Chains A and B, each alone.
Chain A
């Protein structure tokens, strides 16, 4: 078929009748995506081996249980940073907000004697309100989030000092906040939770494959994936039994895992999450598509505030009191570092929550291992910084390699 016109050469289009969208084949693309997480997994394995060889204590179940209990603040800040960075924004106030909300909760419980539930609700309202307010300034006044949240970093650190008063410390001995980091789940509860989670994942996976014409419930691919899933579940169940020798899975880590699953579902399975990726990936295209940019960004700021509050509460729970060192800039920068190490692009629109989750585990494992070696705190900072740098270099090399394939 040709489309001809007077006084022009005909435009041949017969050979393009099948207008070919020849995308990267699915299997190759998925394999490439898995390779992207290779540097992180390799780095984590390396860290575990090195610290186990040097200290002989790293894989001790008691140490691993401690590691999981310590992990919560960094994981929450890393998740909050992930949401912000995916939207193409950054929130430098997250550390201060966590410190401030921790101090507020301690004051409400220890000084005002408020019932714990009311105090927690008020604390969340404060945390979400702070970042939502900053979000309004960013999207309403069109000021860069870097500038607004840098101001917030100072303001809320000042607020934290003001709440703590001249002593700079509010001790807290009240259930259930204190117990979050102390309580270890009984083994059967942990095993039941993991088995239940595995069952839900398997059912969702099978349901998805049954509905997809291209992914049948048979074949080599299906068998390999099913076996891999069962092996992962068995390994997880064994790991929980192993942790039991160190006291059991900390309650706070279970909460971290539940929040992480919720955040992952929000980012990947809801319109809001996909709109966050769209806004961070291409603001102009997102606007042309009809996405309400203001609403999406504002919601993202509020979600980050809720996660920073979770971090504040977990710090308070772990340390048994609020002080001036809680939720500092070091926590914020480690959170951003974990996000970037986990492959979330600083330019926005790319990256996964589980990458950031793994990045936080890596940084916390490094800190934990260095503590086992009894190194001073400044050495810990230096090594953590180098780990971030090395992970970024390895990540960049792998991505360049994949892009050139």
Chain B
């Protein structure tokens, strides 16, 4: 049975594990015909840090997320996990390397329950005489799903069998993130996690990011909302015209400086 990593149980404020590079993007380029969507993009995602990826429309953010999550393959360059080059031919391969992406549409099936969604494609089966049977161990999945949500501070689940479509946007986001945590993700990529949410629900998601960071997970968040970026991130990567324009330590920059990098303003000399 897959259980959440012990690290996932850490609370915000606790001393995080020593940082290491969880994922390295090295000289990644992607071309669609004559259009270069990405040109030699390089950066690292560290464990226990929230990295924000920002940029104007068409800067290449979506393409980069698709490459890191295994939806598309890069034209050139490589990804490295634990220093080893990896090749993701599909999202499943990325997940097997501990890289989970929560897309804007969340990838949840509305008509299935919370527990079923959290175990979709990673189901727990009943075992008999040491052998795996084709039958689902629904109780074990319910219990593990509740535990995963509880570890993220999602404590008021009244019905783990409720269909996801009965939840609010923020609650669905919580389920999608808890799914990644349950599968012991080293890297969680959140694509515009608060774009469709109200203020209170967006705050819930920011709290979940805090908890992921505290658990030692490397978090990459794609966002247009600079207020949230500054609220939650440690590092800001600015993409512009398919290249990394600047990388900022959040605590040592300002919104003005980041906006300047997004629109291509020259720094004052």
Complex contact A285–B227 (CB within 8 A) = no
A29–B154 CA distance with the chains assembled, in angstroms: 20
Contacts of A29 in B (CB 8 A): 159, 161-162, 166
Residue of A5, A23, A277, A285 contacting most chain B CB atoms (<10 Å) = A23
A288 touches B107 (CB 8 A): yes
Rounded to whole angstroms, the CA-CA distance of A8 and B208 in the bound complex is 20
CB closest residue in chain B, given A30: B161
Whether the Cβ atoms of A21 and B156 lie closer than 8 Å is yes
In the complex, are the beta carbons of B227 and A282 less than 8 A apart? Answer: no
What residues on B are CB-neighbors of A281 within 8 Å? 109-112
Given A3-B206, A289-B120 in contact, is the A23-B153 Cβ separation under 8 Å? no
Q: Please, how many angstroms separate the alpha-carbon atoms of A212 and B146 in the complex?
A: 12
* Residue from B143, B204, B254, B255 in contact with A13 in the complex, judged by beta carbons closer than 8 Å: B204
Which one of A5, A21, A208, A269 lies within 8 Å of B227 (CB-CB)? A5
- Say how far A127's CB is from chain B's closest CB, in angstroms: 23
Among B110, B136, B156, B203, contact of A11 (Cβ-Cβ < 8 Å)? B203
The distance in angstroms between the C-alpha atoms of A24 and B231, with both chains bound, is 32
Q: Which of A1-27 contact B (CB under 8 A)?
A: 1, 3-13, 16-26
| Closest residue of B by beta carbon distance from A208 | B139
- CB neighbours (8 Å) of B256 from chain A are 7
Question: CB < 8 Å: which of A16, A272, A277, A285 contacts B207?
Answer: A16
* B121 interface residue (CB < 8 Å to A): yes
Contacts of A62 in B (CB 8 A): none
Distance of B115 from chain A, by nearest CB (Å): 11
Contact A274 B227 (CB under 8 A): no
**Interchain CB contact (< 8 A) of A23 among B138, B143, B159, B170:** B159
Residue of A nearest to B201 (CB): A16
Contact A26 B161 (CB under 8 A): yes
The yes or no answer to B106 lying at the interface (CB within 8 A) is yes
Interface string of B179-217 (1 = CB under 8 A from A): 000000000000000000000100110111010000000
Knowing A18-B153, A20-B156, A290-B90 touch, does A7 contact B230 (C-beta < 8 A)?
yes
B250 and A5: CB pair below 8 A?
yes
Query: Is B207 a contact partner of A13 (Cβ separation < 8 A)?
Result: yes
- The smallest beta-carbon distance between B233 and chain A, in angstroms, is 9
Distance (Å) between the CB of B22 and the closest chain A CB?
21
- Across the interface, do A3 and B232 meet the contact criterion of CB distance under 8 Å? yes
Q: Are B136 and A3 in contact (CB under 8 A)?
A: no
Decide yes or no whether A270 CB sits under 8 A from chain B: yes
Q: Is the CB of B206 within 8 A of A18?
A: no
Q: For the complex, what is the distance from the CA of A282 to the CA of B109, rounded to whole Å? A: 5
Q: Is the beta-carbon distance between A9 and B171 smaller than 8 angstroms?
A: no
B135 proximal to A (CB < 8 A): yes
A5 to B52, alpha carbons, bound, how many Å?
A: 14
Instruction: Please pick, from A11, A24, A213, A289, the residue contacting B166 in the complex, using a CB distance under 8 A.
Output: A24
Q: How many B residues touch the partner, as a band?
A: 35 or more
B111: contacting residue among A3, A16, A277, A289, CB under 8 A = A277
B207 near A19 (CB under 8 angstroms)?
yes
Produce 1/0 per residue, B118-130, CB < 8 A to A: 0011010100000
Given the interface pairs A11-B227, A26-B159, A29-B162, the reply to whether A21 lies near B167 with Cβ below 8 Å is yes
Chain B residues whose C-beta falls within 8 Å of the C-beta of A22 in the assembled complex: 156, 158, 171
Q: B134 — which chain A residues lie within 8 A by C-beta?
A: 270-272
Interface assignment of B97: CB less than 8 Å from any CB of chain A: no
Which residues of chain B come closer than 8 Å to A213, judged between CB atoms?
143
CB pair A20–B171 under 8 Å, yes or no, is yes
Given contacts A274-B116, A290-B91, contact A13 B203 (CB under 8 A): yes
| B114 and A23 contacting across the interface, CB-CB below 8 Å | yes
Is A291 at the interface (CB under 8 A from chain B)?
yes
What are the residues of chain B within 8 A of A26 when measuring CB–CB?
A: 158-159, 161-162
Residues of chain B within 8 A of A20, CB atoms compared: 154-156, 171
Interface contact B139-A286, CB-CB below 8 Å: no
Which has the most chain A C-beta neighbours within 10 Å: B121, B149, B157, B175?
Answer: B121
State the CA gap A9–B228 with chains docked (Å).
10
- The chain B residue sitting closest to A345, CB to CB, is B111
In Å, the complex CA distance between A272 and B123 comes to 10
In the complex, which residues of chain A have a beta carbon less than 8 angstroms from the beta carbon of B142? 212
Q: Let me know if A25 and B159 touch, CB within 8 A.
A: yes
Contact yes or no, B136 A269, CB < 8 A: yes
- Does any Cβ of B come within 8 Å of A132's Cβ? no
Interface hits, B211-269 → A, CB 8 Å: 226-228, 230-232, 250-251, 254-256
What are 6 A-B residue pairs whose CB atoms fall within 8 Å in the complex?
A: A3-B210, A13-B207, A23-B162, A281-B109, A282-B111, A287-B91
> What residues of chain B have their CB less than 8 Å away from a CB belonging to chain A?
12, 90-92, 95, 103, 105-112, 114, 116, 120-121, 123, 125, 134-136, 138-139, 142-143, 149, 152-162, 166-167, 170-171, 174-175, 200, 203-204, 206-208, 210, 226-228, 230-232, 250-251, 254-256
